[in-house]
Structure 1
Amino acid sequence: MSKKIKLAAVVAAGVVAGGWWAAQPEATLPPTLSIAADAQTATESEAAQIPDMVMGQEDAPVTVVEYASFTCPHCQRFHETVFGELKANYIDTGKVKFVYREVYFDKFGLWAAMVARCGGTDKYFGISDIIYDTQKDWLKAENEAGIADNLRKIGLKAGIAPDTLDACLNDNDTARAMVATYQANATKDDISGTPSFIIDGQKYSNMSYEDFAQILDEKLAN
Structure 2
Amino acid sequence: MNKFILPAIAVVAALGAGGWWYSSQSTPTPTASGVESASPVQSHELDFPLGNPNAPVTVVEYSSFTCPHCATFNQGPYEQLKADFIDTGRIQYIKREVYFDRYGLWAGMVARCGGGERYHGIVEMLYDQQREWAGANDPAQVAANLRRLGRQAGMNDAELNACLEDADTALALTEFYQANAEADNIRATPTFIINGQSYQNMPYDEFARVLTEKLGG
* TM-score class normalised by the smaller sequence: 0.7 to 0.9
**Does structure 2 retain, via aligned residues, the 8 Å contact 1:5–1:105?**
no
Partner of 1:7 in structure 2?
5
Aligned counterparts of 1:199 and 1:142: Cα–Cα separation in 2: 36
When structure 1 is superposed on structure 2, of 184-193 and 52-61 the one drifting more is 52-61
Aligned counterparts of 1:51 and 1:12: Cα–Cα separation in 2: 18
Task: Name structure 1 gaps, 5 residues minimum.
Answer: 17-26, 36-46
Aligned counterparts of 1:80 and 1:52: Cα–Cα separation in 2: 21
Aligned counterparts of 1:200 and 1:57: Cα–Cα separation in 2: 14
**TM-score using structure 2 length:** 0.85
Partner of 1:180 in structure 2?
175
Q: 2:190 aligns with which of 184, 188, 195?
A: 195
Aligned counterparts of 1:123 and 1:5: Cα–Cα separation in 2: 33
Aligned counterparts of 1:195 and 1:5: Cα–Cα separation in 2: 18
Partner of 1:38 in structure 2?
none
Aligned counterparts of 1:5 and 1:79: Cα–Cα separation in 2: 27
Secondary structure of 1:194's counterpart equals coil
**Does structure 2 retain, via aligned residues, the 8 Å contact 1:5–1:193?**
no
Structure 1 pair 128/199, CA: closer, same or farther in 2 (3 Å)?
A: same
Equivalent runs, 1:161-180 vs 2, <5 Å: 161-180=156-175
Quote the sequence identity (%): 47
What letter corresponds to residue 5 of structure 2 in structure 1? Answer: L
What letter corresponds to residue 7 of structure 1 in structure 2? Answer: I
What letter corresponds to residue 92 of structure 2 in structure 1? Answer: K
String of CA shifts for 1:63-118, please: whole Å, max 9, x gaps: 00000000000100100110000000000000110011000010000001110011
The answer to whether 1:33 aligns with 2:33 is: no
**Does structure 2 retain, via aligned residues, the 8 Å contact 1:112–1:151?**
yes
Secondary structure of 1:163's counterpart equals helix
**Does structure 2 retain, via aligned residues, the 8 Å contact 1:5–1:192?**
no
Partner of 1:215 in structure 2?
210
**TM-score using structure 1 length:** 0.83
In the TM superposition, what is the alpha-carbon distance from 1:161 to its structure 2 partner?
Answer: 2.8
String of CA shifts for 1:180-209, please: whole Å, max 9, x gaps: 110001101111110000001100000000
Root mean square deviation of aligned Cα: 1.9
Aligned counterparts of 1:67 and 1:209: Cα–Cα separation in 2: 16
Aligned counterparts of 1:8 and 1:159: Cα–Cα separation in 2: 31
Partner of 2:30 in structure 1?
none
What letter corresponds to residue 13 of structure 1 in structure 2? Answer: V
**Does structure 2 retain, via aligned residues, the 8 Å contact 1:115–1:151?**
yes
Structure 1 pair 81/5, CA: closer, same or farther in 2 (3 Å)?
A: farther
Partner of 1:134 in structure 2?
129
**Does structure 1 retain, via aligned residues, the 8 Å contact 2:7–2:174?**
no
What letter corresponds to residue 62 of structure 1 in structure 2? Answer: V
Q: 1:62 aligns with which of 44, 54, 57?
A: 57
Partner of 2:155 in structure 1?
160
Task: Name structure 2 gaps, 5 residues minimum.
Answer: 25-42
The answer to whether 1:105 aligns with 2:100 is: yes
- Aligned pairs, how many? 197
Structure 1 pair 161/201, CA: closer, same or farther in 2 (3 Å)?
A: same
In the TM superposition, what is the alpha-carbon distance from 1:14 to its structure 2 partner?
Answer: 2.2
In the TM superposition, what is the alpha-carbon distance from 1:29 to its structure 2 partner?
Answer: 3.8
